[in-house]
C-alpha cells in the first residue's frame, strides 16, 4: 500500500543543512494501524508529511497504491491527497469563525462531488464522530476533544484509504485522549481505514498493531 | 481559466467571515468610484444645463463679438475689443448687406453700483435694446420694458430685478423711483418677477438699461461687448454668418480671415466650445479620481498581502485537503474582485445619492433647471474599473498565497 525506499530529506543548504531523514525504508499494508514513536527532532513529522504527499523527499523512491509518486507534480499530489489521504493535526487547524459543518465540508470543495451532496456527506461523518449536536458551533465554542473530532470528521469526509495523525492527542487531557483513540480504533476496526499516527505516549501507541521507532532520521526497529 | 461556482461560494464565505477587514479593504475603492460618479454625473448635469441654455437662445441666433477667436491657450485674445459698434450693427441690419436678419440685440456691460437713498448694491447691469424683451423673455411683471423709441432717444430709464427692488426699496415698489448709476439718475419703469438664474444672467439681480443711454451717459464707450443676431430661420444661419463676416471684413479692410478683429459664433459653435471646455474639465477631474482609485488599489494590495499572511495556516490547510495552486489563486482573485466590485457598487450608490442631493440643491436652492439622471455610463465604467483593480492588485497577493508550501504554511504561527 505504502512503500518508502531509502528516503532521505535534507532541509536547508550549506551550513544550514539538516538531515531530517537519513535513508528510511518502510512498508505499510492496507488496513494497518501503525504508531510512529521517537524523541523530538528524530524525523517523525517529516516522514509523515512525505508519506502524506505534503512534502517531497530529497532522494529515494516512494509508492502509493502501487504507483510511483516520487516525481508527481504538486497538482497531482493535491488530487491524491484530496481523494485518498486524510490528515489530523495536533493543533486541529480548523477555520476560525466557521461552523463545524462548513469546516468539515472544506475538502469537498476540491473534489468532484457536486455541491448539492456536500451537506449529506458532511453530516454523515459529523454523526460518525458524535458531533451532530454541535453542527452549528464555531471552533471557539468547542472543547479540545470536540475540535479534534471535527478535524477527524474533516479527514474522513471523502472516505480516504489512509488517515495520518501527527500527535492528535498532544493537546488533550488523558480522558479526552482515550475517547479520541476509541474513535481511531473504531475507524480502523469497523471501517477498515489505514491509520498512521505519531505519538509520544506508550498507552496511545498501544492502540496500534505496529510501532515504528525513529531516532536521528532513521527507523530503529 | 475555468471558475467553478464553489470557488465563488468559498470566496464569498471568506469575505463575510472577515467583515471588518473586508470593509476596510474597500474603503479606498468606495471613495474613488464615488468621486468618479459625482464628477461624471455633476459634470454631465452642468454640461446639459449649459447646452440647454444655449439651445433656449434659439438655433437661429448668431453671436457677434469683438476680438478674434482664440488661436490657443497662450493667445492674446484681448485684441480689438472695440471693433463692434453702432456702425457695424447698422450694417448688419442693412437688408442689402446682410439679408434674412430679423433683429439684433446689442449688449453693453455696465460696471459699478446702483443706489437709492443711501442703499447701494452691485447688480449685473447691461445696456441693450428693445429686442431683449421678446428674445430673452424679459417682460416685466410690473411696469413696462423700454421700447425702440426710448432706446433711440436715450431715455434715462431702467428695468430692475426683484432682488434689486427689494434691496433698494425694501417693501415699497420701485416703480417710477429714480435710481442712481454712476452719476446718472434713471427712472425705474419695470420690475421683473422672480425668474432666477439662467446661463447668461440672473434676472433677479440685474438692471437693464437702453444701450444708448448706457454708452452715452454711463460708460462712455463706443463699442458693444457683443451683438446677438437673429436670422429668419435655421437655414439662413450660415448665410447670415457669411454675410456678416464679409460685411465686417469689408468695413474693416480685412483681406485674410486670419486677421479678423471679430468673431461670429452660431449656437452650434458655442455648444462645441462648451463641450470642449467641459470635456477638458471632466478629464482633469476623472484623472484625479483615477489617481485615488490607484491609491485605493495599492491599499487593497497591501491589505490583501496582510490577509494572505494572516491566513497562511488556512492556505496550508486548504492545500493539505486537496487545493491546487490555481484553486488558491482563483479563490483569492475572486475575493479581491468581489471586494472591489462591491466597493465599486457602494461607491456608485453613495455617489449617485450625493449627485441626486446636489441636483436637488441646485435646482431648488439656486433655481437652476438642473436635471438629475442616473449616470449609467459612469456606473458601468465604475463597476468595470473597480473589478479590474481587484483583478490587477489582487493578483500579486493571490499568487503569493498560491505559492505557499503546505507544510510551511501549516506550521506558521
Ligand atoms: N522546514 C524545515 N526546515 C528546516 N529544518 C526542519 C524543517 N522541518 C523539520 N526540520 C528539522 O528536521 C528535523 C526533524 O524534524 P521533525 O520531523 O519535525 O521531527 P519530529 O516530528 O520527530 O519532532 C529536526 O531537526 C527539525 O529541526
Ligand atoms: Mg513532530
Mark yes or no for CB contact B321/A107 under 8 Å: yes
Whether the per-residue pLDDT at B78 is higher than 60: the answer is: no
**Chain B residue nearest residue A116, CA to CA:** B6
Mark yes or no for CB contact A93/B322 under 8 Å: no
**Chain B residue nearest residue A157, CA to CA:** B321
| pLDDT digit string, tens, across residues A31-65 | 999 999 999 999 999 999 999 999 999 999 999 99
**Chain B residue nearest residue A109, CA to CA:** B6
Q: Are residues B236 and B129 in the same domain?
A: yes
Whether the per-residue pLDDT at B8 is higher than 90: the answer is: no
Nearest CA to ligand 1 atom 16: A43
- Say if ligand 1 is within 6 A of residue A12 CB: yes
Q: Which residues touch B294 (CB under 8 Å, ≥6 apart)?
A: none
Mark yes or no for CB contact A82/B10 under 8 Å: no
- Greatest Cα pair distance, chain B, in angstroms, is 100
Q: Are residues B221 and B332 in the same domain?
A: no
> How confident is the model at residue B184, as a pLDDT?
92
> How confident is the model at residue B201, as a pLDDT?
75
- For the CA of A198, the closest atom of ligand 1 is 21
Q: Which CATH architecture has domain A2-219?
A: 3-Layer(aba) Sandwich (3.40)
Q: Are residues B50 and B120 in the same domain?
A: no
* pLDDT (mean) for B38-60: 77
> How confident is the model at residue B79, as a pLDDT?
60
Considering CB atoms only, which of B10, B322, B406 is closest to A82?
Answer: B322
Triad B76, B80, B83: Cα angle to 5°: 155
Q: Are residues B101 and B156 in the same domain?
A: yes
Question: To test ligand 1's pocket by mutation, which of A20, A49, A217 has the most ligand atoms within 8 angstroms of CB?
Answer: A20
Confidence of residue B97 (pLDDT cuts 50, 70, 90): very high
Contact B178, B186 (CB under 8 A): yes
Per the structure, the count of domains in chain B is 2
> How confident is the model at residue B76, as a pLDDT?
53
- Say if ligand 1 is within 6 A of residue A11 CB: yes
Structural domain harbouring B295: 2-54+273-411
Confidence of residue B44 (pLDDT cuts 50, 70, 90): confident
Strand, helix or coil for residue B15: helix
Confidence of residue B40 (pLDDT cuts 50, 70, 90): confident
Considering B233, B266, B299, which residue would you say is the last residue of a domain?
B266
* pLDDT (mean) for B157-185: 93
- Say if ligand 1 is within 6 A of residue A43 CB: yes
Contact A136, A101 (CB under 8 A): yes
> Shortest Cα distance from A110 to chain B (angstroms)?
6
Q: How many helices (H) and strands (E) does chain A have?
A: 7, 10
**Chain B residue nearest residue A99, CA to CA:** B17
Question: Chain centroid to CA B12: how far?
Answer: 41
ipTM value: 0.96
> Shortest Cα distance from B333 to chain A (angstroms)?
17
Question: Is A107 in the B-facing interface, judged by CB distances under 8 Å?
Answer: yes
Q: Are residues B225 and B130 in the same domain?
A: yes
Mark yes or no for CB contact A81/B320 under 8 Å: yes
Nearest ligand (C-alpha, residue A47): 1
Q: How far apart are CA B45 and CA A36, in angstroms?
A: 75
- Say if ligand 1 is within 6 A of residue A49 CB: no
* pLDDT (mean) for A193-204: 96
> How confident is the model at residue B32, as a pLDDT?
84
Q: Are residues B198 and B260 in the same domain?
A: yes
Considering only residues B28 and B78, tell me which one the structure prediction assigns the higher pLDDT: B28
By mean pLDDT, which of A44-53, B24-33, B241-250 is the weakest? Answer: B24-33
> Shortest Cα distance from B410 to chain A (angstroms)?
8
Q: Which residues touch B240 (CB under 8 Å, ≥6 apart)?
A: B62, B98, B99, B100, B101, B229, B231
Whether the per-residue pLDDT at B223 is higher than 70: the answer is: yes
Question: Is A72 in the B-facing interface, judged by CB distances under 8 Å?
Answer: no
- Say if ligand 1 is within 6 A of residue A90 CB: no
Q: For residue B286, what is its C-alpha cell?
A: 476623472
| A41 Cα to the center of ligand 1, angstroms | 6
> How confident is the model at residue B14, as a pLDDT?
83
Q: What is the DSSP letter of B362?
A: I
Nearest Cα neighbor of B355 from B341, B342, B374 is B374
Nearest ligand (C-alpha, residue A37): 1
Q: How far apart are CA A185 and CA A179, in angstroms?
A: 10
Q: Are residues B74 and B208 in the same domain?
A: yes
Nearest Cα neighbor of B33 from B353, B345, B393, B279 is B345
> Shortest Cα distance from B334 to chain A (angstroms)?
15
Confidence of residue B333 (pLDDT cuts 50, 70, 90): very high
Whether the per-residue pLDDT at B50 is higher than 80: the answer is: no
Strand, helix or coil for residue B5: helix
Q: Are residues B18 and B109 in the same domain?
A: no
Considering CB atoms only, which of B6, B313, B324 is closest to A78?
Answer: B324
**Chain A residue nearest residue B317, CA to CA:** A93
Q: How far apart are CA A81 and CA A161, in angstroms?
A: 10
Whether the per-residue pLDDT at A106 is higher than 60: the answer is: yes
Q: Are residues B135 and B259 in the same domain?
A: yes
Q: Are residues B298 and B343 in the same domain?
A: yes
Q: What is the DSSP letter of A136?
A: T
DSSP string, B69-129: PP-STT--TTTTTT--BHHHHHHHH-TTTSTTEEEEEEEEEE-S-EEETTEEE--EEEEE-
| B61 Cα to the center of ligand 1, angstroms | 89
> How confident is the model at residue A194, as a pLDDT?
97
Confidence of residue B317 (pLDDT cuts 50, 70, 90): very high
Residues of B within 8 A of A107 (CB-CB) are: 321-322
Nearest Cα neighbor of A119 from A138, A99, A102 is A102
Considering B246, B266, B286, which residue would you say is the last residue of a domain?
B266
Question: Is A92 in the B-facing interface, judged by CB distances under 8 Å?
Answer: no
Whether the per-residue pLDDT at A107 is higher than 90: the answer is: yes
Considering B248, B266, B284, which residue would you say is the last residue of a domain?
B266
Whether the per-residue pLDDT at B73 is higher than 60: the answer is: no
Nearest CA to ligand 1 atom 14: A43
If one counts every other C-beta atom within 10 angstroms of the C-beta of residue A77, the result is 22
Mutate to test the interface with A, among B310, B320, B334 (most CBs of A within 10 A): B320
Residues of A within 8 A of B318 (CB-CB) are: 106, 110
Confidence of residue B69 (pLDDT cuts 50, 70, 90): low
Q: How far apart are CA B343 and CA B339, in angstroms?
A: 6
Q: Are residues B316 and B407 in the same domain?
A: yes
Whether the per-residue pLDDT at B75 is higher than 70: the answer is: no
Q: How far apart are CA B140 and CA A73, in angstroms?
A: 88
Considering only residues B23 and B145, tell me which one the structure prediction assigns the higher pLDDT: B145
* pLDDT (mean) for A149-155: 97
Q: Measuring CA to CA, how many Å separate A23 from each of A118, B198, B332?
A: 41, 91, 39
> How confident is the model at residue B275, as a pLDDT?
79
Considering only residues B259 and B249, tell me which one the structure prediction assigns the higher pLDDT: B249
Q: What is the DSSP letter of B223?
A: B
Q: How far apart are CA B380 and CA B348, in angstroms?
A: 9
> How confident is the model at residue B2, as a pLDDT?
59
Helix axes B325-360, B19-56, angle to 10 degrees: 40
Whether the per-residue pLDDT at B411 is higher than 90: the answer is: no
pLDDT over 70 percentage in chain B: 94
| A44 Cα to the center of ligand 2, angstroms | 6
> How confident is the model at residue B59, as a pLDDT?
81
Considering only residues A59 and B198, tell me which one the structure prediction assigns the higher pLDDT: A59
> Shortest Cα distance from A85 to chain B (angstroms)?
8
By mean pLDDT, which of A178-182, B80-84, B205-209 is the weakest? Answer: B80-84
Question: To test ligand 1's pocket by mutation, which of A7, A8, A9, A11 has the most ligand atoms within 8 angstroms of CB?
Answer: A11
> How confident is the model at residue B200, as a pLDDT?
66
| pLDDT digit string, tens, across residues A59-70 | 999 999 999 999
By mean pLDDT, which of A141-155, A167-181, B183-197 is the weakest? Answer: B183-197
pLDDT over 90 percentage in chain B: 48
The overall average pLDDT reported for chain B is 87
Amino acid at each position: 500500500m505504502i512503500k518508502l525506499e531509502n528516503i532521505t530529506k535534507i532541509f536547508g543548504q550549506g551550513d544550514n543543512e539538516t538531515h531530517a531523514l537519513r535513508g528510511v525504508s518502510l512498508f505499510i499494508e492496507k488496513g494497518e494501524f501503525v504508531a510512529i514513536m521517537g524523541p523530538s527532532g528524530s524525523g517523525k513529522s517529516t516522514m509523515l508529511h512525505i508519506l502524506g504527499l505534503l512534502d517531497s523527499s530529497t532522494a529515494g523512491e516512494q509508492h502509493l497504491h502501487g504507483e510511483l509518486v516520487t516525481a508527481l507534480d504538486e497538482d497531482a499530489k493535491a488530487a491524491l491527497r484530496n481523494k485518498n489521504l486524510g490528515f489530523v493535526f495536533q493543533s486541529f487547524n480548523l477555520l476560525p469563525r466557521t461552523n463545524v459543518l462548513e469546516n468539515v465540508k472544506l475538502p469537498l470543495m476540491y473534489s468532484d462531488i457536486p455541491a448539492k451532496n456536500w451537506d449529506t456527506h458532511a453530516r454523515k461523518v459529523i454523526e460518525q464522530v458524535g458531533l451532530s449536536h454541535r453542527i452549528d458551533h464555531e471552533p471557539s465554542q468547542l472543547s479540545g476533544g470536540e475540535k479534534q473530532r471535527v478535524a477527524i470528521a474533516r479527514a474522513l469526509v471523502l472516505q480516504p484509504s489512509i488517515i495520518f495523525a501527527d500527535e492528535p492527542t498532544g493537546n488533550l487531557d488523558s480522558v479526552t485522549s482515550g475517547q479520541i483513540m476509541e474513535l481511531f480504533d473504531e475507524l480502523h476496526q469497523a471501517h477498515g481505514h489505514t491509520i498512521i499516527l505519531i505519538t509520544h505516549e506508550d498507552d496511545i501507541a498501544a492502540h496500534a498493531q505496529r510501532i515504528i521507532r525513529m531516532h536521528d532520521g532513521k527507523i530503529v526497529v | 481559466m475555468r471558475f467553478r461556482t464553489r470557488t465563488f461560494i468559498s470566496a464569498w464565505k471568506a469575505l463575510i467571515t472577515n467583515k471588518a477587514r473586508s470593509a476596510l479593504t474597500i474603503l479606498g475603492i468606495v471613495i474613488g468610484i464615488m468621486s468618479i460618479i459625482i464628477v461624471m454625473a455633476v459634470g454631465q448635469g452642468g454640461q446639459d444645463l449649459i447646452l440647454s441654455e444655449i439651445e433656449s437662445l434659439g438655433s437661429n441666433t448668431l453671436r457677434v463679438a469683438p476680438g478674434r477667436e482664440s488661436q490657443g491657450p497662450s493667445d492674446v485674445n484681448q485684441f480689438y475689443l472695440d471693433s463692434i459698434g453702432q456702425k457695424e450693427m447698422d450694417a448688419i441690419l442693412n437688408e442689402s448687406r446682410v439679408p434674412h436678419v430679423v433683429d439684433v440685440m446689442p449688449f453693453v456691460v455696465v460696471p459699478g453700483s446702483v443706489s437709492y437713498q443711501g442703499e447701494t448694491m452691485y447688480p449685473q447691469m447691461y445696456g441693450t435694446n428693445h429686442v431683449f424683451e421678446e428674445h430673452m423673455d424679459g417682460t416685466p411683471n410690473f411696469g413696462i420694458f423700454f421700447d425702440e423709441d426710448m432706446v433711440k432717444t436715450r431715455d434715462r430709464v431702467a428695468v430692475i430685478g426683484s432682488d434689486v427692488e427689494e434691496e433698494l426699496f425694501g417693501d415699497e415698489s420701485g416703480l417710477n423711483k429714480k435710481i442712481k448709476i454712476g452719476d446718472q439718475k434713471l427712472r425705474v419703469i419695470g420690475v421683473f418677477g422672480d425668474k432666477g438664474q439662467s446661463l447668461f444672467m440672473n434676472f433677479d439681480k440685474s438692471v437693464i438699461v437702453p444701450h444708448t443711454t448706457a454708452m452715452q451717459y454711463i460708460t462712455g464707450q463706443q463699442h458693444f461687448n457683443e451683438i446677438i443676431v437673429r436670422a429668419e430661420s435655421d437655414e439662413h444661419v450660415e448665410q447670415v454668418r457669411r454675410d456678416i463676416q464679409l460685411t465686417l471684413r469689408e468695413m474693416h479692410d480685412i483681406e485674410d480671415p486670419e486677421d479678423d478683429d471679430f468673431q461670429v459664433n452660431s449656437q452650434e459653435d458655442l455648444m462645441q466650445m462648451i463641450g470642449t471646455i467641459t470635456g477638458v474639465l471632466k478629464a482633469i477631474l476623472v484623472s484625479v479620481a483615477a489617481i485615488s482609485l490607484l491609491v485605493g488599489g495599492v491599499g487593497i494590495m497591501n491589505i490583501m498581502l496582510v490577509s494572505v499572511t494572516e491566513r497562511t495556516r488556512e492556505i496550508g490547510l486548504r492545500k493539505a485537503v486537496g487545493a491546487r495552486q490555481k484553486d488558491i489563486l482563483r479563490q483569492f482573485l475572486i475575493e479581491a474582485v468581489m471586494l472591489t466590485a462591491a466597493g465599486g457598487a457602494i461607491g456608485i450608490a453613495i455617489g449617485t445619492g450625493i449627485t441626486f442631493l446636489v441636483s436637488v440643491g441646485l435646482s431648488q436652492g439656486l433655481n437652476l433647471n438642473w436635471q438629475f439622471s442616473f449616470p449609467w455610463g459612469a456606473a458601468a465604467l465604475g463597476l468595470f474599473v473597480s473589478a479590474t483593480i481587484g483583478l490587477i492588485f489582487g493578483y500579486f497577493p493571490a499568487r503569493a498565497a498560491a505559492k505557499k508550501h503546505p507544510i510551511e504554511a501549516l506550521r506558521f504561527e
